[in-house]
Structure 1
Amino acid sequence: MDQLRKRFDQLTWPEASKAASRPGATVIWPFGAFEQHGPQLPLSTDAVFADGILDLVLSGLDPALPIWRLPCQAIGFSPEHQNFPGTLSISASLLLELVEQVGSQLAAMGVQRLVLFNAHGGQIGLLQVAARQLRARCPSLAVLPCFLWSGVEGLADLLSDQELLHGLHAGQAETSLMLKMAPELVGSARPVDGRPIPGSDQEPPEGWSLEGAAPCAWLTDDLSATGVIGDASQASVDLGNRLEGRLVNHWQARFQALLASHWPPTQSLLPKPSQSSPRS
């Protein structure tokens, strides 16, 4: 696939107008963050993942499909990391407004679906709120907020239970994936940090957790001196290669299924009421 032809920002305005008016026109907007990822990973880690995985996904789809991507939103909502130098974070209100303004303009062009393709765990809930607000403002636009790692099959086969549960940031999975996608950006440090010590005050009480069903609004420096929450010591290029493959296969399948459907229903797709006059 010619990647430039799937970049909405690389189209001319007549091409963009034609693309947006196609049945099922779908735009993917990748979201990253600009935040510390320990002493071994770059501030752009989440943006690198969102941008790179999306390009790989699109390259495997039929080029005739009505799907395009926007440039990555590389600065996100990251207040949990702000006590570590280098982190840049925008406010929740600014991110909500950004999604609403851009999404409203896409809807006005005729785009039918906007997928918020997010790789930063700290803004999952916020982008869900943004999606709901945008949907209410633009009833003709289906809005789908997604998280890169959510629902991906087979991760439990590649990562330990401990790392699946507590490897929340710059641990084995993220370090391995960066070793595969941009090894020149990975430093030599491999910290193990931020994981609860069993039986200590650091371990959440029964039924509670850092994330999950009963989460805590943690700040990174509550948990970690290095910025890592997890175990980076077992990271490898081989694991990164397998993680990349699972992510790409998962999202290719999801986008193919979406583009082959009329889902999700919007007001523009719902049956119109009969215009005939009632008989007297």
Structure 2
Amino acid sequence: MFHGLIPADRYYAYLSFRDIESMPNKENVIIIQTVGAVEQHGPHLPLMTDAAIGLYIVGKTLEQLDHDKSPTIYVLPPQYSGYSVEHTSFCGTISLSASTLTNVLMDIGDSVYRAGFRKLLFFNSHGGQPQVTEIVARDLRKRHSDLMLFSIFAWDLPNIAATLVTPHEFKYGIHAGEIETSLMLVILKEYVKMNLAEKEYPPTLVPDGGLLRIDAGLTYAWMTKDLSQSGVIGDPTEATSDKGEQILASLIASFKKLLLEIDAFNSHV
């Protein structure tokens, strides 16, 4: 029951130390550490939205893999809290400092290596911390030259979200908007309060057509309170479970393909 969305036979913490000690071909086993967040997502979504999305993608992907033909994969207990400093002005957000999250993930990586595994995937589903997991992966690679590291941001997986929402929403709906709300209507519908959903786009802090952006690329340091009073950046009122099902299916298909590539990957050629 502690494995949640992860298939029980893929949950690392259910193994005994003897299981791990005697596991064959450990250097090709893929270990996944999900990294999420516990942070405000407006008045209509639960704090665990990012963590829930990441766990759903991982769990449903593993359900679809053929156990006889698929890679051997185990998922570590989730790292729920992450680096969410941009949301700390909103009540309820639990944020680790970047240094704390870095140290935690480094220690986990060292432990995975010490157990004999040589493929570790950080699967991050919070937009505020891809840089942290990328730095950790690089530092672990430097420390352990035969450890293969993969730092994956869930929203970098190819998906069809852009085809289901307006261009304006796709560009500016970066937090608790239509896309995330649609996903949560599938993942944790009973905790989505659509009656409280409200639309709020950020003020025009940078000119349209300019080089500066709020979402990615040539961006600047912002706090959520700079962009939103409600905690929402986007329009969740247009969210539907049908859109959520389609987006999730595309994310899961991409992650399945990625896992098969990681299974075949060998950096020591």
Change (3 A) 1:242 1:205: closer
Could you say which structure has the larger radius of gyration? 1
Q: Is the aligned partner of 1:178 residue 2:181?
A: no
Q: Pick closer, same or farther for the CA change 1:20–1:177 going to 2, 3 Å.
A: farther
Q: Partners in 2 of 1:106 and 1:18 — Cα distance?
A: 15
Report the CA distance shift for 1:203/1:43 in structure 2 as closer, same or farther (over 3 A).
farther
2:265 matched residue in structure 1:
262
- Secondary structure of the corresponding residue to residue 123 of structure 2: strand
**1:193 and 2:207 aligned:** no
Pair 1:119-2:122 in alignment: no
Residues 245 and 67 (structure 1 numbering): CA distance in 2 closer, same or farther, change over 3 Å? same
- CA distance in 1 between partners of 2:208 and 2:33 (Å): 35
Query: C-alpha separation between the residues in 2 aligned to 1:238 and 1:196?
Result: 30
Report the Cα distance in structure 1 between the residues aligned to 2:81 and 2:120, rounded to whole angstroms: 19
Quote the offset at 1:205 in angstroms.
Answer: 6.8
SS of the aligned residue for 1:131 comes to helix
Shift of 1:204: 6.0
TM-score, length of structure 2 as denominator length: 0.92
Q: Which runs of 5+ in 2 are unaligned?
A: 1-5
Q: Is the 1:77–1:92 contact (alpha carbons within 8 Å) kept by the matching residues of 2?
A: yes
Alignment equivalent of 1:165, drawn from 163, 171, 195: 171
**Which piece of structure 1 moves more, 146-155 or 169-178?**
146-155
- Which residue is equivalent to 1:62? 66
The Cα of 1:221 is off from its aligned counterpart by 0.2
Identical-residue share of aligned pairs (%) = 32
Distance in structure 2 (CA, Å) of the matches to 1:62 and 1:17: 25
The alignment covers a number of residue pairs equal to 261
- Match among 194, 197, 211 for residue 207 of structure 1: 211
Q: What are the residue-to-residue correspondences of 1:59-138 with 2, within 5 Å?
A: 59-64=63-68, 65-138=71-144
CA apart distance, 1:135: 1.1
Q: Aligned partner of 1:193: which letter?
A: E
Aligned equivalents of 1:97 and 1:27: distance in 2?
18
Q: How far does residue 153 in structure 1 lie from its aligned partner after superposition?
A: 3.3
TM score, norm. by length of structure 1: 0.88
Q: 1:221 to 1:41 in 2, by over 3 A?
A: same
Q: Are 1:241 and 2:245 matched, yes or no? A: yes
Q: Report the RMSD for the aligned CA atoms in angstroms.
A: 1.7
State the alpha-carbon separation in 1 of the partners of residues 24 and 229 from structure 2.
Answer: 47
SS of 2:149's equivalent in the other structure is strand
